[in-house]
Amino acid sequence: MGGLLSDAVRVDLAPGAVHLAHYLSLSRQRALIDQCRTLLDGDVPAYVPTVRGGGKMHVRMLCLGRHWNGQTYRYESTRSDFDGRPAPPLPDEFRTLASELAQAAGMTLTADLCILNYYDAEGRMGLHQDKDESEASLAAGLPVVSVSLGDAARFLFGGTKRREPVTAFRLESGDGFVFGGPSRLRYHGVSRIVPGTAPPELGMSGRFNLTLRQYDVET
């Protein structure tokens, strides 16, 4: 399924940075939320990573397909910074969703990993670059595809240098956000969650965010 749904709104924020507002229908959001809940509390559950400097992140995280190690900032197959368990596989539905959203933004992606985060009302994520994928993937500008579910987030989007100005906008439930090409290494983060803003039909509080990425380029 390509292109935009009828009530989706495409906003081009910068070359290679596309906000696909209202992209997912409520029924697709519900199905994804069920899947996220099952995964986060599954056999290999989400956890709160401790990062290099010793601080705890303000999200519960579960990596699928490959594990991002918060101590080394590298990807690996098992969670050596936490419990040594293998990263669960990336569900096919997530890979398909990533391709669809990338295509809607005019890009291509064959995702091989997802970082799934759950933010409670106090959740946040500091400004950072996503730069731990393979050199070839970054050089090709393969996009990160982000999907938001539940409460809205105040999302920060800056330049490729930390000191550059930052724009803030809301990512709402059902929104996609795709950044690749010249925007692939832009700084971004989440300054706050806006509690009570999830569509009531979803029956959830807090926010899930999926970032789908392609570590390896296809040969």
Ligand X SMILES: O=C(O)CCC(=O)C(=O)O
Which residues contact ligand X (rule: CB under 6 A)?
115, 117, 125, 130, 146, 153, 155, 171, 188, 190, 209, 211
Task: For residue 112, give Cα distances in angstroms to 97, 117, 132, 202.
Answer: 12, 17, 14, 28
Complex with ligand X: residue 1 or 62, whichever CB lies closer: 62
What is the CB neighbour count within 10 angstroms for residue 91?
A: 16
**HSE of 163, CA atoms in CB hemisphere, 13 A:** 0
Shortest separation between residue 82's beta carbon and ligand X, angstroms: 17
Shortest separation between residue 188's beta carbon and ligand X, angstroms: 5
Complex with ligand X: residue 29 or 209, whichever CB lies closer: 209
Terminal Cα distance for the chain, rounded: 25
Shortest separation between residue 49's beta carbon and ligand X, angstroms: 11
Complex with ligand X: residue 100 or 177, whichever CB lies closer: 177
Shortest separation between residue 191's beta carbon and ligand X, angstroms: 11
Q: Which DSSP string do the residues of 116-158 spell out, in sequence order? A: EEEE-TT-BEEEE----S-HHHHHTTPPEEEEEEESEEEEEE-
Complex with ligand X: residue 1 or 147, whichever CB lies closer: 147
Shortest separation between residue 24's beta carbon and ligand X, angstroms: 15
Shortest separation between residue 12's beta carbon and ligand X, angstroms: 18
Residue with nearest beta carbon to ligand X: 209
Complex with ligand X: residue 95 or 207, whichever CB lies closer: 207
Complex with ligand X: residue 2 or 53, whichever CB lies closer: 53
Query: Are β-strands 188-194 and 17-21 bridged in parallel, bridged antiparallel, or unpaired?
Result: unpaired
Q: Which DSSP string do the residues of 38-89 spell out, in sequence order? A: HHHTSSS--B--B-TTSPBPBSEEEEESSEEETTTTEEESB-TTTT-PBPPP
